[in-house]
Amino acid sequence: MKQEGRKIAVLTAYDAAMARLLDDAGVDVILVGDSVGNVIQGHPSTLPVTMDEMMYHTKIVSRGVRNALLTADMPFMSYQASVEDAVRNAGRFVKEACAESVKLETSEEYVDTVYAIQKAGIPVMGHIGLTPQSVLKMGGYRLQGREEGEARRMIDLAKSLEEAGAFSIVLETIPSHLAVEITKSINIPTIGIGAGPGCDGQVLVINDMLGLSPEPIPKFVKKYANVREIVESSAKKYIDDVKSGKFPARDHSYD
Ligand code: KIV
């Protein structure tokens, strides 16, 4: 798709019903993101998400996927301690949960890990820029790659990941001009989130783009619906109907 100049549309999903809807809509890649920790489990970060939880969500998402590429996000501490851990856990996603690729948050330290996973036959998506699993080290969720040296290191890292065999790289929360430079420097597709229009594709967290996540949501999110409002007003109407005896009516009852 990159070679043909066709943009790649990626969305996250956490269950079979949503995965089926997104797949039917024609999304190219479904990512079972560790953002499940924030948007489904109610955690303030992705750090508490476990391998077992990601396995569960990947398994159920896989039942809704027909055509899209299914990518599973490797959670915090599923690949950081050793390359062996990383290969074994990536393998579990493929063998037990029907994932077709894995994503991991990648600094220079994980280039060898990417190499080892892809060598085992598992396609790997890198993730650079703002990497939420390093929130404690980064001291918060903020724009990355603003400084000249940092930007240069990010370009070099993208090249190293391509050389290590990654099939694509997520660029999160970096300046648009840097995303363009990275995208031009490598042959594999870049998938942006908060990285401007110059990437080969875009990814959003499904709950954010549907307007299900509570405010504040990041500046880079475009809300395509306000499902939160629909759910709230529908629930209020239902509660009123039950309390006033309007529901169930004859139409919803058996004779
Ligand atoms: O966990 C996630 O959903 C992600 C995407 C936002 C890229 O990593």
Cβ of 12 less than 6 Å from ligand 1: yes
pLDDT of residue 233: 98
Cβ of 195 less than 6 Å from ligand 1: no
pLDDT tens digits for the chain (255 residues)? 999 999 999 999 999 999 999 999 999 999 999 999 999 999 999 999 999 999 999 999 999 999 999 999 999 999 999 999 999 999 999 999 999 999 999 999 999 999 999 999 999 999 999 999 999 999 999 999 999 999 999 999 999 999 999 999 999 999 999 999 999 999 999 999 999 999 999 999 999 999 999 999 999 999 999 999 999 999 999 999 999 999 999 999 999
* Tokens of residue 26, six digits: 């024609």
Cβ of 203 less than 6 Å from ligand 1: yes
Which of 50, 41, 48 is closest to 15 using CA atoms? 41
- Ligand 1 mean position, distance from CA 184 (Å): 23
Q: Within 10 Å of residue 161's Cβ, how many Cβ atoms?
A: 26
Q: Give, for ligand 1, the residue of 103, 104, 209 to mutate: max count of ligand atoms closer than 8 Å to Cβ.
A: 103
Q: Within 10 Å of residue 178's Cβ, how many Cβ atoms?
A: 23
Choose the catalytic residue: 100, 172, 181, 215: 172
pLDDT of residue 112: 98
pLDDT of residue 246: 98
pLDDT of residue 36: 98
111 φ/ψ angles, rounded to the nearest 5 degrees: -65, -40
Q: Give, for ligand 1, the residue of 12, 27, 61, 127 to mutate: max count of ligand atoms closer than 8 Å to Cβ.
A: 12
Closest-lying ligand 1 atom to the alpha carbon of residue 172: 7
Determine the Cα–Cα distance for residues 5 and 167; give it in Å rounded to an integer: 16
pLDDT of residue 17: 98
pLDDT of residue 141: 95
pLDDT of residue 184: 98
* Tokens of residue 53, six digits: 């939880």
pLDDT of residue 227: 98
User: H/E element holding 172?
Assistant: strand 168-172
Cβ of 201 less than 6 Å from ligand 1: no
Q: Is 105 a catalytic residue?
A: no
Determine the Cα–Cα distance for residues 91 and 79; give it in Å rounded to an integer: 12
Query: Is residue 191 classed as helix, strand or coil in its secondary structure?
Result: strand
pTM for the full model? 0.97
Which of 247, 206, 243, 248 is closest to 228 using CA atoms? 206
